[in-house]
């Protein structure tokens, strides 16, 4: 009797395991079925083009004819191209100027907007407006503002007797114009900082006030550590975005004057679609990818002990 019961239990367990396995297979099939549009899009528009660009970076290809394999010639040729160094210089200078200013100013403005004021919502909308404008519209607007003859900025400067700079036609003023335009558009980062500031526990501030901690002490020991993950995120995204700057160079100056705004991405575009040197453009794209990857890893490594997370696995406050 016991032997029959044991066999029955084994049979039931076997049937249960088979049914569970069939159910798990159905769940997995449904899962992959629902994400299949994303998988197809990822393969068609991301993975396959990346693999093709990697192959074409080793070829001499003018887009219209057959690609000829040339090995490392495209990569070595870049280091003999003076315009490559100029585009790299312009991009790195622009990144070094704009990224720290964007992070600092967006945090500062967010702290100013994080107050209880009757019309504070209106000010938040005004500061966020540049972030919702398309890049082309934003660049065209600033091209009119920086116009040396009838631009808005020079008209205001003339009211104070200041000599009007030739913002977009003078190599000395082109980079300052680009930096000013970029720094004004801090709305996207402001929204993230506002969300982070409002998520900081108020009990910490109350306890600090009881201990007679001043404003700067609360900022240093409460606000900055609590905001450190968002600061890291905005710094990293602004860094990557600055290294890929293209729209402002294409719309506002077309790389000039005297290649003063020849950004790396714009020179890459010229090689690929203007000069029809797609192999060289692909090589430039992969070099940019490697540079961004290395810089991102370095930033994450350096910031590991300076970023505070509300978990046991998070970073430490230095």
Check pLDDT > 60 for residue 156.
yes
Quick one: pLDDT at residue 5? 56
Q: What DSSP state is assigned to residue 69?
A: E
Tokens for 65, please give them: 């004819």
Read off the pLDDT of each residue in 275-302 and give the average, rounded to a whole number. Answer: 94
Read off the pLDDT of each residue in 134-154 and give the average, rounded to a whole number. Answer: 87
**Mean confidence (pLDDT) of the chain:** 86
Quick one: pLDDT at residue 9? 66
Q: With bands split at pLDDT 50, 70 and 90, how would you rate the model's confidence at 243?
A: very high
CA–CA dist 156, 152 (Å, integer): 6
Read off the pLDDT of each residue in 257-266 and give the average, rounded to a whole number. Answer: 91
- Tell me which H or E stretch contains 60: strand 59-60
Q: Are 218 and 111 in contact (CB under 8 A)?
A: no
CA atoms within a 13 Å half-sphere pointing along the CA-CB vector of 9: 6
Report pTM: 0.84
CA–CA dist 297, 289 (Å, integer): 12
- Tell me which H or E stretch contains 279: helix 278-302
Quick one: pLDDT at residue 317? 37
Q: 9-60, pLDDT tens digit by residue?
A: 677 676 767 777 778 888 888 888 999 999 999 999 999 999 999 999 999 9
Q: With bands split at pLDDT 50, 70 and 90, how would you rate the model's confidence at 310?
A: low
Read off the pLDDT of each residue in 120-143 and give the average, rounded to a whole number. Answer: 85
């Amino acid at each position: 009797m016991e032997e029959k019961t044991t066999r029955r239990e084994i049979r039931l367990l076997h049937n249960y395991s088979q049914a569970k396995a069939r159910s798990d297979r159905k769940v997995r099939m449904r899962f992959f079925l629902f994400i299949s549009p994303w998988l197809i899009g990822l393969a068609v528009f991301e993975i396959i083009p990346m693999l093709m660009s990697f192959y074409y970076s080793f070829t001499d290809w003018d887009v219209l004819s057959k690609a000829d394999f040339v090995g490392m010639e495209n990569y070595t040729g870049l280091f003999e191209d003076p315009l490559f160094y100029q585009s790299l210089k312009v991009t790195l200078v622009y990144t070094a100027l704009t990224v720290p200013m964007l992070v600092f100013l967006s945090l500062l403005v967010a702290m100013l907007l994080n107050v209880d004021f009757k019309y504070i919502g209106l000010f938040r909308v005004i500061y966020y407006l540049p972030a919702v404008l398309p890049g082309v519209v934003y660049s065209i607007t600033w091209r009119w503002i920086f116009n040396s003859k009838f631009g808005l900025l020079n008209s205001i400067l003339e009211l104070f007797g200041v000599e009007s700079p030739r913002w977009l036609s003078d190599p000395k003023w082109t980079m300052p114009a680009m930096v000013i335009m970029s720094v004004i558009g801090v709305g996207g980062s402001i929204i993230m900082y506002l969300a982070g500031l409002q998520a900081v526990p108020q009990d910490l501030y109350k306890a600090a006030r009881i201990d007679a901690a001043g404003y700067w002490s609360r900022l240093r020991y409460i606000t900055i550590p609590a905001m450190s993950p968002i600061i890291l995120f905005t710094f990293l995204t602004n860094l990557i975005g600055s290294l890929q700057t293209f729209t402002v160079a294409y719309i506002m100056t077309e790389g000039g004057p005297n290649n003063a705004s020849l950004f790396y991405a714009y020179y890459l575009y010229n090689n690929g679609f203007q000069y029809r040197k797609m192999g060289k453009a692909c090589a430039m794209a992969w070099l940019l990818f490697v540079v961004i990857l290395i810089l991102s890893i370095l930033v994450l490594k350096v910031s590991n002990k300076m970023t505070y997370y509300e978990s046991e696995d998070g970073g430490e406050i230095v």
